Amino acid sequence: MSAAAEAEFPEPASTFAELAASRRLWIDEVLRPWCTTATVSQLRLAELEWLDIAGRADTQSTLWTWAWSRFPDIVHGELSGINETHRVKVVTASGEVLSGYPDGRKSERGKLFLLGNNIDGDLVHLPEVSLDDITEIRRCSDQQEDEVSVSS
């Protein structure tokens, strides 16, 4: 084995406990951080092979939750999926600002849907936003919970 290969691959595990620990370490130090920076197209490629990459783990509760965790205000630290509890402000790369409650059921595969009020006060789905197009997601303050804005 070359020196480079030895540096990349640790000694083989000799017990199941060591094997499980090395897999957990790989998930925590390689896979999960990759999910927080990968583009939607790369995440969708990973989703196709997720059974081989991550085992029987559900992509919605791992891959996509980890991907959305690049914006901590839209995920819950101990639950999977998008946190629907609080109104959030979403800023896109084009400068558009949307405010509403995340729709966890409709938001999937890198697309975020928010529920907000239209000009007449009716609750509607705001335009979908791709994870790749989002630059910031912030939880609205209690005072902002009653405000809705969609601006460019």
Question: Running DSSP on this structure, what letter comes out for residue 63?
Answer: H
Q: Determine the pLDDT at residue 13.
A: 84
- Please tell me whether the overall predicted TM-score, pTM, comes out greater than 0.85 for this model: no
Quote the Cα angle for 122-124-125, to 5°: 165
pLDDT digits (tens, 9 = 90+) for 24-48: 999 999 999 999 999 999 999 999 9
pLDDT band at residue 12 using 50, 70 and 90 as cut-offs: confident
Tens digit of each residue's pLDDT (9 = 90 or more) over 57-110? 889 889 999 999 999 999 998 888 999 999 999 999 999 999 999 999 999 999
Q: Does the structural domain 13-151 have CATH classification 2.60.40.10? A: no
Maximum CA extent, the chain:
69
Supply the DSSP symbol for 11: P
The answer to whether residues 29 and 16 touch, using CB atoms and an 8 Å cutoff, is no
